Amino acid sequence: MKPDDFDYVSRLLKERSGLVLTKDKAYLLESRLMPLARKRGLKGLDELMVALKKRDIVLEKAVVEAMTTNESFFFRDNKPFDQFKSIVLPNLLKARATKKSFRIWSAACSSGQEPYSLAMLLKEEGAKLSGWRYDIVGTDISDEVLKKARAGAYSQFEVQRGMPMTLLVKYFKKKDENWAIDSAIQSMVQYKEWNLLGDLKPLGQFDVVFCRNVLIYFDQPTKSKVLQAISQIMADDGVLYLGGAETVLGISDHFKPVPGQRGIYAVTKGIGKPSLGAPQG
Amino acid sequence: MKSCLIVDDSKVIRMVAKKILQEMSFETEEAEDGQGALQLCQDHLPTAVLLDWNMPVMNGIEFLRALRAMPGGDQPVVVFCTTENDIEHIQEAIEAGANEYIMKPFDSEILQAKFAQVGLIEG
pLDDT at B123: 64
Disruptive mutation site among A76, A79, A156, A165 for chain B (greatest number of B CBs within 10 Å): A165
Asked if residue A21 lies in contact with residue A10, where contact means CB atoms within 8 angstroms, the answer is yes
* DSSP-assigned letters across all residues of A238-276: EEEE--TT---TTT-SSEEEPTT-TTEEEEGGGTTSPPT
Domain boundaries, chain A: 3-68, 79-270
Q: Map residue B97 onto helix, strand or coil.
A: coil
pLDDT tens-digit map of A97-118: 999 999 999 999 999 999 999 9
Whether A90 and A274 have beta carbons less than 8 Å apart is answered as no
ipTM of the complex: 0.90
Mean per-residue pLDDT, B80-91: 95
pTM to 2 decimal places = 0.90
Asked whether B76 and B115 are in contact (CB, 8 A), the reply is: no
pLDDT score for A63: 92
Sheet of A172-175, strand order: A153-154, A178-181, A172-175
Buried b (16+ CB within 10 A) or exposed e, B87-123: eebbebbbebebbbbbbbebeeebbbbbbbbbebbee
The pLDDT tens digits for A224-242 are 999 999 999 999 999 999 9
Q: Is B83 at the interface with chain A, CB within 8 A? A: no
The DSSP string of A135-171 is EEEEEES-HHHHHHHHHTEE-HHHHHSS--HHHHHHH
Q: Strand, coil or helix: what is B96? A: coil
Interface residue B49 vs chain A (CB under 8 A): no
CATH number of the domain at B3-117, please? 3.40.50.2300
For an interface test with A, which of B110, B115, B118 has the most A Cβ atoms less than 10 Å from its Cβ?
B110
Which residue type, as a one-letter code, is found at position B57? V
Sketch the domain layout of chain B as residue ranges: 3-117
Q: Say which DSSP state B105 is in.
A: S
Query: Is the predicted pLDDT of residue A259 greater than 70, yes or no?
Result: yes
DSSP A126: G
Query: What is the CATH T-level fold of the domain A79-270, as seen in this structure?
Result: Rossmann fold (3.40.50)
Alpha-carbon span B61 to A263, nearest angstrom: 40
A115 to chain B, closest Cα gap in Å: 19
C-alpha span between B86 and B65 (Å, rounded): 20
Interface contact B113-A161, CB threshold 8 A: yes
For the segment A38-79, what is each residue's pLDDT rounded down to a tens digit?
988 998 899 999 999 998 889 999 999 888 877 788 998 888
Taking CA atoms, what residue in A is nearest to B94?
A166
User: Quick one: pLDDT at residue A281?
Assistant: 60
Q: Which residues pair with A262 in a beta bridge?
A: none
- Topology of domain A3-68 in CATH is Chemotaxis Receptor Methyltransferase Cher; domain 1 (1.10.155)
The mean pLDDT of A175-195, rounded to a whole number, is 96
C-alpha–C-alpha distance, residues B43 and B22, integer Å:
22
Length of chain B: 123
User: Which residue among B86, B110, B116 sits closest to A160, beta carbon to beta carbon?
Assistant: B110
Contact A78 B85 (CB under 8 A): no
Report the DSSP pairing between strands A178-181 and A172-175.
antiparallel
Per-residue pLDDT tens for B44-73? Answer: 999 999 999 999 999 999 999 999 999 999
**Ranges A6-10, A39-43, B8-12, most confident:** B8-12
What is the model's pLDDT at position A169? Answer: 96
End-to-end CA distance of chain A: 58
Which residues of chain B does A165 touch, with a Cβ-Cβ cutoff of 8 Å?
90, 93-94, 98, 100-101
Rounded CA Rg of chain B:
13
Q: Indicate yes or no: CB of A78 within 8 angstroms of CB of B87.
A: no
In the sheet that holds B3-7, the strands lie side by side as B27-31, B3-7, B48-51, B77-82, B100-103
